[in-house]
A and B are shown apart, each in its own frame.
Chain A
Amino acid sequence: MKQVVCKIDELGPGEMKPAQLGPIRVVVIRAMDGTLHGLAAKCLHQGGPLERGRLYDHTVASSDVGEYVMDSDREILKCPWHGYEYDIRTGQTVFDETRCLQTFTVREEGDEITVELGVPGAAGQAGSARASA
């Protein structure tokens, strides 16, 4: 199953687009480095619509109270409701890597961005979303 998401120039760095793969709502994200990532858009907590969430740099676990260190190479999708944080590359929640969104393959094909089901990044698999830019 494959779906066209949008034209390539309609998704810039740091932006998201929703897509629908059969019954599955997907959010397609272009990271700041240009790579593309696809995640199931239903929050694992209460089903919040992740395509309406916000992207942030990852706040790194720090050593001292009051120390905030940001990792701009690890972008986080924060649920628009309760704020569960997901690594856009793996779909894993930041607080528990065993809780993981399904990931999808996202490609640039011609002048379009497509997302598809059933290839690397299958349900719950930790690791790269295998996106290509």
Chain B
Amino acid sequence: MTAVRAQPLVSQAKTQDVRIIDTDVHERAELYSLLPYLEPKWRKYITDFGWQPDRVLPYAQFAAGGLDREDAKLPDGRPGGSDYNLLREQLLDEYNIDYAVLTGWLDASALAPGWPEFKTALMSAYNDWQLENWVARDERILGSVHVNAHDPQNAAREIDRMGAHPEFVQAIVYIGDKAYGDPYYHPIFEAAARNNLPIGLHHSENSPTALGFHRYFVEWHTLVPQVFMSEIVSLIFNGVLDKFPTLQVIMIEGGTTYVPHLMSRADQQYKELRSEVPWVKRMPSDIIREQFRFSTQPTEEMSPEKFLALIDGVGSEDLFCFSTDYPHWDFDSPWEALPAGLPEGLQRKIFFENAQHLYPKMPALRAR
């Protein structure tokens, strides 16, 4: 006879007064809503010629609500993250979030590189739309500067322009199929360092696995951490972190459990092959501990002991920053995603202190 596990029917964590900085919240724009913010010369490519962002992923997101939580979609059919009031109700108020860092939807860096002028303009429009419709609307909401990474000089100018805003706390670059350690992209990292902004790297539906796109969505989603490992390896061994020693990078939506393996393997390769990349001056695991952070979502079910072993594996309590990924289907609940019973000091670091240290412009927590 099989044993039946105990099941909590009422969350205990709900009663905790946990301070939370959510480092991955997706607001969503309709293309037409960007038109007022887009230079007039570009508008006809959306209104008349039907431009749409390219999407490589060959599957449906195989969840009850598709890309979104079923309960986060709007009754009028708009996708999750389209409506401020619903986001406030389901996320900010429901979980008493102190600050939510927006990570967006439309990001040119994940798209194929062609037509950079249009996409650079579109990112500027997106940033202005984001400011007016989200960041300026709620003091708990903080913005990310979106850029077109395939136009690095203008991406740097956009970081200079929007990075000056006190409530835009990072520059974000979505991952497509390009390794961003290539010196071609360095102006972006230079601009982020110049503006004292972390860089957020976020995967996309255009991020392949190491073998491209397999037959099934479950394969692709299982292998999402691969592309994060690729980018970390690229940034480290192409010297980005040595070239910009004050730069901080947060890997968003890749989870955390791949990090110990990557540290160990990269260190071993560095010991054996360092002379190929003499511009790299520190052990990769040290670079990761000093200059990388990781948003926690999507978490995997694990015991407190296993989670603490993960912390031991990365050798630091300072690397993980809590995130929900609202409104997407693999949303992590602040009340349930982490194992119960973690040390209080570690919980504080993950839920808000690590993010406070990561983002120089993060406002102070308000008294409750």
Q: Which residues from chain A contact B71 at a C-beta distance below 8 Å?
A: 49, 52, 80-81
A44 within 8 A of B: yes
B15 beta carbon closer than 8 Å to chain A: no
Given contacts A47-B336, A101-B7, contact A52 B63 (CB under 8 A): no
CB-CB nearest in chain B for A21: B9
Report how far A107 CA is from B331 CA in the complex, Å: 35
B335 beta carbon closer than 8 Å to chain A: yes
A87 to chain B, nearest CB (A): 14
A4-12, A27-35, A108-116, A123-131: which lies at the B interface?
A: A123-131
A46 touches B329 (CB 8 A): no
Interface residues of B in 281-314 (CB under 8 A from A): 301
Whether B330 pairs with A99 at a CB distance below 8 angstroms is no
Q: Is the CB of B2 within 8 A of A54?
A: no
The digit string for B1-39, where 1 denotes a CB below 8 A from any CB of A, is: 011111101110000000000000000000000000000
A14 within 8 A of B: no
Contact status of A98 and B65, CB under 8 A, knowing A47-B336, A54-B70, A83-B329: no
Contact B10 A124 (CB under 8 A): no
Q: Which residues in B have some Cβ–Cβ distance to A below 8 Å?
A: 2-7, 9-11, 62-65, 69-71, 215, 301, 329-333, 335-337
Query: What separation, in Å, do the CA atoms of A44 and B6 have in the docked complex?
Result: 10
The 9 lowest CB-CB distance pairs between A and B, nearest first, are A80-B70, A124-B4, A52-B71, A46-B336, A46-B333, A78-B64, A54-B64, A83-B63, A98-B2
Q: Given the known A-B contacts A46-B333, A98-B2, are A80 and B64 also in contact in the complex, defined by CB atoms under 8 Å?
A: yes
Q: Is the interface of A mostly helix, strand, loop or mixed?
A: loop
How far is it, in angstroms, between the C-alpha of A53 and the C-alpha of B332 when the chains are bound? 16
A83-130, CB < 8 A from B: 83, 97-102, 123-126
Q: How far is the CB of A55 from chain B (nearest CB, A)?
A: 10
- Chain A CB count within 10 A is highest, among B62, B333, B335, for B333
CB contacts (< 8 Å) of A53 on chain B: these are: 64, 70
Extra contacts besides A45-B336, A78-B63, A81-B64 (5): CB < 8 Å:
A46-B335, A79-B64, A100-B5, A102-B9, A124-B4
